[in-house]
Amino acid sequence: MERHIFVAACVAFICSQSLAKTIEIGFDIGFGLGAGQNLVGSISEQNSSGYTTKYDEVYSSGGNGIKINGSATYYLNDNLGILVVAGGSCFGGYHTKYPAGSEFFIDSYYGVVNLGLKLKTKMGRVSPYVYIAPGLFFPAESGIFDDNRAGYPTESSDISIKYAPGFGFTAGMGVMVALGDRTGLVAELAPTYAFADEKEHTFTSEDGFNSRTVYLNETSTLPANTGNTTYLHGRPRRSFSSIAPKIGMYFSF
């Protein structure tokens, strides 16, 4: 009996030591520069005679903003690992303004779960690496609509935009610099390619009135519009792509 316990303890110890050398946990933060941008509106102004004095088209990607990610890599050997990435993007968005005096301020954000492969090689204390990880993106947008049209009461409405889960991939190339046997710093450039289809958006005025637009593409016959809900065919597609320089840390176990 004691022999069996000793053998089991030895096997557990050997497995734990092997596992400690093959699992890597990372955390990083960066700022995404929107890519694959959509035309979302314009910033326009007119003079008192009605002539346009300024017109700038506004392009934006829901992928811009601050990126915060956590990852885990299980290395099958010294160079190849299975990678899981979870995280999100926040504080992105855009601003549009129209001649009549109305303005939109939109914030974009999303969560993401990706599964992929990571390749790295060791060069002393520096380890260059690349990875690619497809997966699901869960975006949403919200903001404020200010109605400042002349002759109308000034009013603000909250905007909520819902999206179907999108599919895309995140990738990265960078270097890991060891600070010790089990920890180090990371610097990388991470492109993300992702799109999602809008399901609906809702305006909620200060007095609580809702105006809702729902996009449907699964039916040839739309439901009848109600007092505050409009149904339309098709779903506008929004880019959540970006290129993000990031820094972080990793820990080996």
Q: What's the 3-state SS for 210-251?
A: EEEEEEECCCCCCCCCCCCEEEEECCCEEECEEEEEEEEEEE
What's the whole-number mean pLDDT along residues 185-199? Answer: 94
What's the whole-number mean pLDDT along residues 119-138? Answer: 95
What's the whole-number mean pLDDT along residues 25-36? Answer: 90
pLDDT at 47 over 50: yes
Mean pLDDT, the chain, rounded, equals: 85
24-252: CATH topology is Porin (2.40.160)
- Stated as kind and residue range, the H or E segment containing 8 is helix 2-20
Percent of the chain with pLDDT over 70: 85
pLDDT of 200 reads 93
- Tokens at 209, concatenated: 């009135």
What's the whole-number mean pLDDT along residues 83-112? Answer: 87
pLDDT of 68 reads 95
What's the whole-number mean pLDDT along residues 191-204? Answer: 92
pLDDT of 17 reads 45
Most confident of 138-142, 204-208, 214-218, 225-229: 138-142
pLDDT of 2 reads 53
Report the half-sphere exposure of 205 (CA within 13 A, side-chain side): 9
Q: CB burial class (10 A; 0-12, 13-18, 19+) of residue 61? A: buried
Non-local (6+) Cβ contacts of 210 within 8 A are 202, 203, 204, 228
What's the whole-number mean pLDDT along residues 188-205? Answer: 92
pLDDT at 49 over 60: yes
Strands (E) across 76-182 are located at 80-97, 102-120, 126-147, 155-163, 166-178
pLDDT bucket at 51, cuts 50 / 70 / 90? low
For the entire predicted model, the pTM comes to: 0.76
pLDDT single digits (tens) 96-106: 887 666 788 88
pLDDT at 18 over 90: no
Distance, CA of 188 to CA of 247 (rounded, Å): 6
Q: Where are the domains of the chain?
A: 24-252
pLDDT bucket at 63, cuts 50 / 70 / 90? confident
pLDDT at 6 over 70: no
